[in-house]
């Protein structure tokens, strides 16, 4: 059977997409760029600086912002986002996740986190889940972002598990692509995910017997 499960954070453990959206919307409005919920969906699983690049492109203003100006905008967005995170607690854990983490731990299956969010440690702490994870990738030390497999390979190395022995769970296309490229098996949460080994509508459907059945297919 599998030796590890490596989780994405946003969209799998908790869903802070609406908070990222509020923060980006305010920052973008400040420089005259309007973004809507449909555009926001394209930022799922995309790193902070890459999200900013997409927003500037969307507004046709990418050429007007150099590295320093971008750093200021990203810092402004993050300050808003961190403010919005203040209300986060255990109630924000997505359905089925606490039970799954508990069941995996009981079976001695290693648990990893592969989030590109630089706020991941603070979010896990707010959710009361820090001690549940055997290894969390430090996103600040990555050279390449999803869909590159680096983040999942780093998580496997940290857990001392071969990628071929691990399952990755993701809600974003870039994340599914990263898992597949790493040699792990992929589980997708949501719709419009291409190439996932298994796709579920909701985290509520996740449990160990289901993952075992998927593993043996
Ligand atoms: P931060 P994940 C991602 O989290 C979010 O889906 C994405 O919207 C966000 O821009 C990114 O984290 C970076 O977050 O600004 O907090 O570093 O899905 O990889 O857990
Ligand atoms: Mg995600």
Residue 110 reports pLDDT greater than 90: yes
**pTM assigned to the model:** 0.95
**Average of per-residue pLDDT across 122-131:** 98
10 Cβ closer than 6 Å to some ligand 1 atom: yes
Q: Could you give the C-alpha distances from 196 to 4, 64, 169, in angstroms and in order?
A: 17, 38, 9
Residue 192 reports pLDDT greater than 90: no
Kindly provide the b/e burial profile for residues 116-142, where b requires at least 16 CB atoms within 10 angstroms of the residue's own CB: bbebbbebbebbebeebbbbbbebeeb
154 Cβ closer than 6 Å to some ligand 1 atom: no
Q: How far is the CA of 146 from the centre of ligand 2 (A)?
A: 10
**Please, which pLDDT band fits residue 100 given cuts at 50, 70 and 90?**
very high
DSSP designation for 80: H
Name which residue sits closest to atom 12 of ligand 1, judged by CA.
117
124 Cβ closer than 6 Å to some ligand 1 atom: no
Q: How many residues does the chain have?
A: 217
Is the link from the previous residue into 147 a cis peptide, with omega within 30 of 0? Answer: yes
Q: How far is 173 from 153, CA to CA, in rounded Å?
A: 17
Q: What is the pLDDT of residue 46?
A: 92
Note if 177 is an active site residue.
no
């Amino acid at each position: 059977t599998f030796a590890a499960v490596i989780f994405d954070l946003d969209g799998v453990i908790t869903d802070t997409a609406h908070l990222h959206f509020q923060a980006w919307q305010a920052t973008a409005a400040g420089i005259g760029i309007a973004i809507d919920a449909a555009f926001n969906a394209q930022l799922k699983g995309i790193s902070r600086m890459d999200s900013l690049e997409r927003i500037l492109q969307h507004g046709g203003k990418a050429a007007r912002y150099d590295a320093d100006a971008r750093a200021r905008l990203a810092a402004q967005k993050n300050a808003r986002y961190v403010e919005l995170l203040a209300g986060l607690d255990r109630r924000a854990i997505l359905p089925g996740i606490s039970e799954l983490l508990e069941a995996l731990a009981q079976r001695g299956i290693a648990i990893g986190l592969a989030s590109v969010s630089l706020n991941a440690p603070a979010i896990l702490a707010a959710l009361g889940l820090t001690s549940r994870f055997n290894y969390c990738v430090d996103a600040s030390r990555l050279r390449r972002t999803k869909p590159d497999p680096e983040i999942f390979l780093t998580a496997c190395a940290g857990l001392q598990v071969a990628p071929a022995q691990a399952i990755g769970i993701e809600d974003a296309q870039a994340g599914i692509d990263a898992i597949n490229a790493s040699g792990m098996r992929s589980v997708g949460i949501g719709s419009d995910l291409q190439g996932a080994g298994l796709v579920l509508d909701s985290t509520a459907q996740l449990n160990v017997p289901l993952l075992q059945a998927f593993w043996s297919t």
